[in-house]
C-alpha cells in the first residue's frame, strides 16, 4: 500500500510538471492549444508508457514466469488502449479548434464521442481483466486493474483540468 502511494505520488508530481510545462506554451490561443495537444500526445506515447511500465513492474511484483505471461497480455491491451487514445486526441483537437465558436452539433459530437471512448475503455478493461485472470490469477488481475484505473484517473484529471470549460 505504501509502495502504491509512493508511486502514485511520484506519478502525480510528474503529471503536474507536464501541466506546468504545457502552461508555458507560446502566447497565441491557437499555438497554446496546439502545444497542449502535442504535449498530451508526447506524454501518452513516451513518458506515461515508460512510467506505467515501471509502476506496473514494481507493484505487480510478479515472478519471471508470471511476468512473461502478464507482459504478453498487457502489450496487446496497451495497443488497443493507444487506438482509443488516438480517438480521444482527435476529439480534444476538435474541441480546441472549435472552442470559441462551438456549435450545438459539434458540442454534441464531442460529448458523445468522449462518452463512447469511456465506454469502450471500460469494455477493454473488462476484457483484459478476464484474460489476465486466466493467464495469472483473479487476484493478480485485480491488482493490475486497480493500478491501471488509478493511473487512468490521474491522467484523465490532468487532461480535463487543462481544457477550458465550455461557455
Q: What digits encode the pLDDT tens for the residues 64-77? A: 999 999 999 999 99
Provide the percentage of residues in the chain whose pLDDT is more than 70: 75
HSE toward the beta carbon, residue 146, CA cutoff 13 A:
12
pLDDT confidence tier of residue 41, bands split at 50, 70 and 90: low
pLDDT band at 93 (very low <50, low <70, confident <90, very high): confident
3-state SS, residue 26: coil
Q: How far apart are CA 50 and CA 47, in angstroms?
A: 5
Alpha carbon distances (Å) from 72 to 31, 127, 150: 39, 15, 21
If DSSP codes are grouped into helix, strand and coil, which group holds residue 60?
helix
Check whether 8 has a pLDDT greater than 60: no
Pairwise CA distance, residues 18 & 35, whole Å: 12
What pLDDT score does 35 carry? 72
Q: In the predicted model, what is the mean pLDDT of the chain?
A: 83
Amino acid at each position: 500500500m505504501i509502495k502504491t502511494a509512493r508511486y502514485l505520488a511520484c506519478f502525480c508530481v510528474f503529471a503536474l510538471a507536464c501541466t506546468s510545462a504545457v502552461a508555458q506554451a507560446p502566447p497565441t490561443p491557437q499555438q497554446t492549444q496546439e502545444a497542449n495537444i502535442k504535449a498530451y500526445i508526447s506524454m501518452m506515447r513516451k513518458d506515461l508508457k515508460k512510467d506505467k511500465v515501471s509502476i506496473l513492474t514494481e507493484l505487480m511484483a510478479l515472478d519471471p514466469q508470471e511476468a512473461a505471461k502478464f507482459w504478453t497480455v498487457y502489450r496487446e491491451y496497451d495497443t488497443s488502449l493507444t487506438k482509443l487514445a488516438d480517438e480521444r486526441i482527435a476529439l480534444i483537437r476538435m474541441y480546441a479548434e472549435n472552442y470559441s465558436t462551438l456549435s450545438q452539433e459539434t458540442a454534441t459530437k464531442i460529448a458523445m464521442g468522449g462518452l463512447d471512448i469511456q465506454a469502450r475503455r471500460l469494455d477493454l478493461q473488462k476484457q483484459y481483466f478476464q484474460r489476465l485472470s486466466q493467464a495469472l490469477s483473479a487476484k493478480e488481475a485485480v491488482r493490475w486493474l486497480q493500478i491501471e484505473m488509478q493511473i487512468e484517473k490521474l491522467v484523465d484529471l490532468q487532461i480535463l483540468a487543462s481544457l477550458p470549460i465550455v461557455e
